[in-house]
Amino acid sequence: MIRLFFFAALLACSFSVFAGQASCSSISERALQIIELSKGGLKQETGEVGGYQLISVERHKNHWNRITKNNPDGDYSRRLRGVLKDKCYWFALYMPQESQLGGDFGFFIDDKDGKILFVYRGK
């Protein structure tokens, strides 16, 4: 029980790295809101949430992220960078619980209004 509490506190405070001036608690609260918004997107895309596991939730202040870095000159990355330009956003990544090649989903969510800006579908 103590380990679980320590892990939860550590996880909550890890979001403060992206916060700039924001407090640890406000970032972790926003991260929880983003997780709920991304679950709604996952349900809309797949019809379910139960078959997927949340891998990470990250806050970004520029258009470079784990997706655009992989193939910076590709059409997909250019289009994604265009959508994310000048935005502060969150990226929530889900993977299928069953081991398979592809099938992951990533949701780019606007930090200001909570709208899904872009959906990444792994192949």
List the one residue out of 111, 116, 123 whose CA is nearest residue 43: 116
Q: What is the mean pLDDT of the chain?
A: 76
Q: What is the pLDDT of residue 2?
A: 36
Q: Among 23-27, 96-100, 110-114, 115-119, where is mean pLDDT lowest?
A: 23-27
Q: What is the pLDDT of residue 81?
A: 86
Domain span including residue 86? 2-121
Q: Among 70-74, 78-82, 111-115, where is mean pLDDT lowest?
A: 70-74
Total domains in the chain come to 1
Provide the whole-model pTM.
0.71
Q: Which residues, in sequence order, are CB contacts of 61 under 8 Å at separation 6+?
A: 18, 20, 88
